[in-house]
Structure 1
Amino acid sequence: MKRRVAILISGRGSNMAALIEAAKAADFPAEIAVVVSNRSDAGGLAIASQSGVPTAIVESRPFGKDRAAFEAALQALLDQHKVELICLAGFMRLFTAEFVQHWYGRMLNIHPSLLPAFPGLEPQAQALRAGVKISGATVHFVIPQTDAGPIVMQGAVAVQDDDTPETLAARILTVEHRIYPDALRLLAGGQIRLDGDICKTIGSAGSGDALISPAVN
């Protein structure tokens, strides 16, 4: 039985599109039950509809700072669609600790840095200011602290001397589109277990490949 997934978006939904595409495979252990946006003008809603995925809007603005009331409306929608797992894909709304705890171990997020380095806003600019030679993306479980949950999967890219935040972000985005579906596959397929604050993968090992930057001839 495929696990039922809700993807939460606030904007264009490029990671959402990657998840929807991956879920079309017959052997993918999850199905996208609904795409939910807290903004009616989110570009990803049209993409989801064109892909045949149900969409819904729970506007956050009318709730103001009452996050609990917004979450109650969101939870009712998730219950209606019998959602078992959540993937955040550019969802620009903070949750209460209570909502996060309810979904602990069942809600994923993706962040464009190699966490725990460079959490929060503008991680690509943070990486360039720090002068790192390798950056990337991280899929992690959501906890009340921002970008701090157990790490499920990471992918890396080399940082170029002439990179800008925009060029680095574009290169990292291609990695995001690869690792987010793979992380969801692991979670939905029961190949992940949490050992305290550490996420471990059952029956899988790293590729063994090393990314070294800068490369020396």
Structure 2
Amino acid sequence: MKLLIIGGNGTIGKRVANHYKQQEHEVIIAARTNGDVNVDIADSKSIKSMFEQLGKVDAIVCIAGEAKWAPFNDLTEEDYYIGLKSKLMGQVNIVRIGQHYLNQNGSITLSTGILADDPVLKTTSAAMVNGGIHSFVQAAALEIPTGTRLNVVSLGMVEDAYEKYKDYFPGHNPVPMSKVVNAYVRSIEGKTNGNVIRYYE
């Protein structure tokens, strides 16, 4: 299987990439810098250029995108556009463009997180974007080409990021990295379509 993992050098992405590399699949890492191919997901032209360079793949996985974290009353209109252009429209455009570069019975997996369902302080923008992606996936899956599957993995605070984010998520149980990887395996290799695959503990 030929997999494109956008954000494959990140905390979660490298775990998913290593899982598939160990199984001797062809894994292509896309990143803003230092990837096998470079891409800025906030720029649809960059996304198009990446796919034209790579050609057909069997699976597209996006574990990338940013949004501004700040108190609600400190967020400006421009701050909201960071998440709208990157994590939301970036992933929407990966689906819009990427569907045409999938082999038969290919899959697309997007990424969000627990903030869509259980937000914490300073996450208004990120929670909004995550919720939007959930609705987008459920609707778009009804209309993408027959045989193509589209899902989104929504994770809680993961073990590998616990020390960095634990103060934002008091009382939350970190998600074991084995569960994190399996969430993506379920989307990539399973038959589910249009689902929000939640792993919050």
TM-score, normalising length: structure 2: 0.51
Number of equivalenced pairs: 151
Distance change (3 Å), C-alpha of 1:75 and 1:170: farther
Whole-angstrom CA distance in 1 between matches of 2:123 and 2:58:
34
Asked if 2 retains the 8 angstrom alpha-carbon contact of 1:8 and 1:88, the reply is: yes
CA RMSD of aligned residues (A): 4.7
The answer for the alignment partner of 1:208 in structure 2 is none
The answer for the alignment partner of 1:199 in structure 2 is 195
- Where 1:90 maps in the other structure, the secondary structure is coil
The answer for the alignment partner of 1:175 in structure 2 is 175
1:146 to 122, 126, 133: 133
Residue by residue over 1:96-154, the C-alpha shift from the partner in whole angstroms, topping out at 9 and shown as x without a partner, is 85652354682223323163444xxxx56449xxxxxxxxxx9x9xxxx4353346555
Asked if 1 retains the 8 angstrom alpha-carbon contact of 2:47 and 2:97, the reply is: no
2:38 aligned with 1:57, yes or no?
Answer: yes
- Where 1:13 maps in the other structure, the secondary structure is coil
The answer for the alignment partner of 1:78 in structure 2 is 54
Residue 182 of structure 1, CA deviation: 1.0
The answer for the alignment partner of 2:27 in structure 1 is 33
Whole-angstrom CA distance in 2 between matches of 1:172 and 1:77:
41
Structure of higher CA gyration radius:
1
Identity rate of aligned residues, in percent?
Answer: 10
The answer for the alignment partner of 1:100 in structure 2 is 95
Q: Which runs of 5+ in 1 are unaligned?
A: 46-54, 128-137, 158-163, 202-210, 212-217
Distance change (3 Å), C-alpha of 1:174 and 1:4: farther
Residue 15 of structure 1, CA deviation: 0.7
Asked if 2 retains the 8 angstrom alpha-carbon contact of 1:112 and 1:173, the reply is: no
Whole-angstrom CA distance in 2 between matches of 1:89 and 1:173:
21
Residue by residue over 1:160-215, the C-alpha shift from the partner in whole angstroms, topping out at 9 and shown as x without a partner, is xxxx95434699795273344212322332x2333xxx5399xxxxxxxxx8xxxx
The answer for the alignment partner of 1:188 in structure 2 is 188
Q: Which runs of 5+ in 2 are unaligned?
A: 67-85, 100-105, 125-129, 139-150, 158-163
The answer for the alignment partner of 2:79 in structure 1 is none
Distance change (3 Å), C-alpha of 1:8 and 1:169: farther
2:121 aligned with 1:113, yes or no?
Answer: no
Whole-angstrom CA distance in 2 between matches of 1:172 and 1:90:
23
- Where 2:27 maps in the other structure, the secondary structure is strand
TM-score, normalising length: structure 1: 0.48
2:85 aligned with 1:91, yes or no?
Answer: no
- Where 1:14 maps in the other structure, the secondary structure is coil
One-letter code of the match for 1:33?
Answer: V
Distance change (3 Å), C-alpha of 1:110 and 1:152: closer
Structure 1 stretch displaced more, 164-173 or 106-115 = 164-173
The answer for the alignment partner of 1:8 in structure 2 is 6
Asked if 1 retains the 8 angstrom alpha-carbon contact of 2:65 and 2:90, the reply is: no
Higher helix share: 2
- Return structure 1 stretches of 4+ with deviation > 6 angstroms: 170-173
